[in-house]
Amino acid sequence: IEAVLNGKATDTITSLKKKYEKTISRMLTGMLLIIFVFPFLSDGFSYPGSINGFAKAMFFYLVLILFYWAKLKSVSNLELSDHIKERLEQILTMLNKNLQIEFFFVLIFFAGFILVGRFFYGHGLEGIFKPEVVAGAGISVLFTGLMLFFINKHYKKHISELEGYLAEYNNAF
């Protein structure tokens, strides 16, 4: 049973690595699309606020990529115990910690993105209750909520799976 649980724990780590690799690849592809497509959508450079707005968007994209790259490195460099019970507990602790970190990062990132955008264009908090601003904020809250839902769902799936493995181990030994 230890060999089976060891393999399942390794599969969990491998799936996390692949998730982060896919996320980084998709973000880099999206960044390239923004770089190549946005200048041609209309006459001249069309990104909001000209080249400064484009630089701001690329900065936020790089922050996201660096965040997921750091998560990939932390999973890749994880030193796991040779004992299966300790290994499962280490992975569970890591997953719970990563869930909290990713949850708060998404909240801070999207709130920061909106605030920086408002202040970048000189609007600050002025006109914050205009219908278009309220609608945009509502869409952002909805998008952020969906992101948090999917992040939570992904992590909880792995956490409950590992808790089941740990219960199997405790019942067997």
- % the chain with pLDDT above 70: 90
pLDDT cut 90: percent of the chain above it: 34
Picking from 64-73, 102-111, 126-135, which range would have the lowest pLDDT averaged per residue?
A: 126-135
Report the phi/psi class of residue 98: left, alpha or beta, with left for phi > 0 and alpha for psi in -120 to 50.
alpha
Number of folded domains in the chain?
1
Identify residue 65 by its one-letter amino acid code.
I
Q: How far apart are CA 78 and CA 69, in angstroms?
A: 14
Position 157 scores a pLDDT of: 92
| Residue 91, burial from CB neighbour count under 10 angstroms (0-12, 13-18, 19+) | buried
Examine the pLDDT at 43 and tell me if it is beyond 70: no
Could you give the maximum distance between any two Cα atoms of the chain, in Å? Answer: 70
Average pLDDT over residues 152-159: 93
Q: In terms of Cα–Cα distance, which of 99, 94, 101 is closest to 77?
A: 94
The answer on pLDDT for 125 being more than 80 is: no
Confidence of residue 25 (pLDDT cuts 50, 70, 90): very high
Whose structure tokens read 């450079």? 45
Please state, in angstroms and rounded to a whole number, the distance separating the CA atoms of residues 114 and 23: 22
Enclosing domain of residue 29? 2-172
Q: List all residues 6 or more positions away from 63 whose beta carbon is below 8 Å from its beta carbon.
A: 109
pLDDT band at 46 (very low <50, low <70, confident <90, very high): very low
- The pLDDT, as a whole number, for residue 48 is 55
Q: Which amino acid is at 152?
A: N
The pLDDT of residue 38: 65
In the predicted structure, residue 70 carries a pLDDT above the cut 80: yes
